[in-house]
Amino acid sequence: MDMGGVRRRLALGAAVLVGSGTLALLASGVAEAAPADTCAGREVRTLSFSTGVTHVYKRDGYICAMTVARRTGAVQTMSVSVQARGNRPVTDTGGYRYEAGPVTVHAGHRCVWIRGSVGSGSVDSGWILC
């Protein structure tokens, strides 16, 4: 085989690699565009407040929470926090259009404290699910 044939095969191999890499990037972009994650388990509490709602779910000793804004579209400061008694809170805070979270902690049979906020409105559960 002459040098021209080797070069053509190397170029073809490089083109195939670039094409498959591009396809992988496009596929991952589609996955990111899917709807936001949700909590597993059954909903055990709904904590409503003026600017949003914090949903609390429980499954096999795990507590999961997410805060959903009543008015969606514009980016606003949102947060959700779950703290199992005796541990530090796990929090998701940032500028979101629709929801903050989900946040999941292992609580076992311990009480949990849930906090949620959207803009100036917030909710604070106190110790629940004891």
**Higher-pLDDT residue of 130, 32:** 130
Tell if the pTM clears 0.85, that is, is over it.
Answer: no
Model pLDDT for residues 54-107, shown as the tens digit of each residue: 999 999 999 999 999 999 999 999 999 999 999 999 999 999 999 999 999 999
Q: What are 26-43's pLDDT values in tens digits? A: 333 332 233 457 999 999
Integer Cα distance of 42 and 20 in angstroms = 40
Tokens found for residue 74: 């514009």
pLDDT higher than threshold 80 for residue 23: no
Cα 41 from chain centroid (whole Å) = 16
Tell me the CB-side half-sphere exposure of residue 35, using CA atoms within 13 A: 2
| pLDDT tens, position by position, 6-18 | 666 655 555 544 4
Distances (CA, A) of 122 to 16, 43, 72: 53, 20, 16
From the candidate CATH numbers 2.50.20, 2.60.40, 2.30.30, 1.10.101, the one assigned to the domain spanning 42-128? 2.60.40
* Domain residue extents for the chain: 1-34, 42-128
- The DSSP line for the chain is --HHHHHHHHHHHHHHHHHHHHHHHHHHHHHHTSPPP---SEEEEEEEETTEEEEEEEETTEEEEEEEESS-SS-EEEEEEEEETTS--EEEEEEESSEEEEEEEE-TTS-EEEEEEETTEEEEEEEE--
- Residue 118 pLDDT greater than 90, yes or no: yes
